[in-house]
Amino acid sequence: MPRAPSHPRFCPAHRDSVVVTALLVATCVTMLTGGCTKPAPPRALKAPTKIRVAAATDLRSCLEALTNAFQVEHPNFDLLPTFGASGVLLTQLKSGLETDLYLSADVAYAHDLAAAGLAAEADVFESGQGRLVIWVRNESPIDVLKLGAEALLDPSVRRVAIANPLHAPYGRAAVAALEHLGLHDRLKEKLAVGESAAQAAQYVESGAAEVGILPMALAKGTRLSERGRFWAVPAEAHPPIRHGGAIHARAIDREATVTFRDFLLAPAGRAILARYGFEFPAVP
């Protein structure tokens, strides 16, 4: 008896292919609905916004404190400082030094930057008035707190360290104070002139000079506060040391620079400046 022809739908091979296809479809659906979804790559973190600051050397510790406080509110901002004597920095800026913000120990230098076309006059600002001190090391026998300016005449004093008055505002103020106190002629041969206020501080800290006429911000804000003691020179003994600055005309991120400038001049910034001896006269 002849065998009946088989129908294709009853073919075992065809049935198996249908099952395999169904499994593949189910697997794809599972993957698409998240069962085997490959983890998405992590999102790249935004690079910190950098603010370049050219600052007078007496601001070293003060600027560090300002930066730390600023980054609490703006953690994605990094400040990149360059330090030097105010006049030297101005010359470098005119010669092409790149920065976003200039902080000088003499606001007149900031106005000079604007006059050179490297800042808008509207972007020049004052940030506080500095003070001078007479500083000696802890091991010095000179009782500077008792003697005041007379400490400079102690027989043990062979060298008196000051910043260079040609381009450092604190150096000019030191010379003016010596003249006001009637001591310049007696001490001019003993002056050890540093390129900046920071270098003058190094002279007296190292023992190359027995006493220094330095910015209060250095005496209060660096290791000098632990290694020595000082007497504050009366403010009326020299012209005001009017700190200030300017936003550079070619600031890379002007908005970020303005944000830091505003913080510097706000109550929180001024409170930090005050800790380092800066004063804020009612009338600039």
- Please write the tens of the pLDDT for every residue from 175-218: 999 999 999 999 999 999 999 999 999 999 999 999 999 999 99
The answer to whether residue 43 sits within a structural domain is no
**Domain contains 23:** no
Task: Using the Cα atoms of residue 117, residue 123, residue 128 and residue 129 in order, give the sign of their dihedral.
Answer: positive
Same domain, 226 and 200: yes
pLDDT for residue 45: 55
Same-domain pairing of 142 and 226: yes
**Band (126; pLDDT cuts 50, 70, 90):** very high
User: What's the confidence (pLDDT) of residue 41?
Assistant: 52
Residues 121 and 139 in one domain: no
Q: In this structure, are 226 and 150 located in the same domain?
A: yes
Distance CA 167, CA 170 (A): 9
pLDDT tens-digit map of 136-153 = 999 999 999 999 999 999
Helices (H), the chain: 12-32, 60-73, 86-94, 107-115, 144-147, 169-180, 184-187, 197-206, 216-221, 224-227, 254-265, 267-275
pLDDT of 18 above 80: no
| Residue 280 covered by a domain | no
The answer, yes or no, to whether residue 119 has pLDDT greater than 90, is: yes
Do the Cβ atoms of 148 and 110 come closer than 8 Å? no
pLDDT of res. 130: 96
* pLDDT at site 225: 87
| Token pair for 248 | 């550079």
Confidence check: pLDDT of 167 > 60: yes
Same domain, 123 and 137: no
Angle at alpha carbon of residue 274, lines to 195 and 50, rounded to 5°: 65
Strands 101-104 and 228-232: unpaired
Contacts (Cβ under 8 Å, ≥6 apart) of 274:
128, 280
Cα–Cα distance measured from residue 41 to residue 55, given in angstroms and rounded to the nearest whole number: 41
- Over pLDDT 70: what percentage of the chain? 83
pTM: 0.81
pLDDT of residue 224: 87
Residue 98 lies in a domain: yes
In this structure, the answer to whether residues 125 and 138 fall within a common structural domain is no
**Interacting residues of 278 by C-beta distance below 8 A, sequence separation 6+:** 62, 127, 128, 129, 130, 131, 217, 243, 270
**Domain of residue 146, CATH code:** 3.40.190.10
Please report the pLDDT score of residue 35 as a whole number. Answer: 46
pLDDT of 222 above 90: no
> How does residue 161 score in pLDDT terms, banded at 50, 70 and 90?
very high
- pLDDT over 60 (residue 34): no
In contact, 225 and 70? CB cutoff 8 Å: no
Whether residues 210 and 76 fall in one domain: no
Identify the pLDDT of residue 223.
84
Total structural domains within the chain: 2
Which pLDDT score, from 0 to 100, does residue 281 have? 73
pLDDT in tens, 73-87: 999 999 999 999 999
pLDDT at 215: 97
Same structural domain, 102 and 167: no
- Residue 265's domain comprises 49-129+241-275
Asked if residue 159 is part of any domain, the answer here is: yes
When pLDDT is cut at 50, 70 and 90, the band that residue 39 belongs to is low
- Structure confidence at residue 36 as a pLDDT band (50, 70, 90): very low
| pLDDT at position 232 | 97
The answer to whether residue 118 sits within a structural domain is yes
Same domain membership, residue 224 and residue 191: yes
Cα 113 to Cα 66: distance, rounded to the nearest angstrom: 24
pLDDT reported for residue 71: 96
Poorest-pLDDT segment among 30-44, 89-103, 112-126: 30-44
Given a cut of 80, is residue 111 above it in pLDDT?
Answer: yes
Q: Residue 60's CB: how many other CB atoms inside 10 A?
A: 17
Work out the pLDDT band at 20, boundaries 50, 70, 90: very low
How far apart CA 111 and CA 259 sit, in angstroms, is 21
End-to-end CA distance of the chain: 123
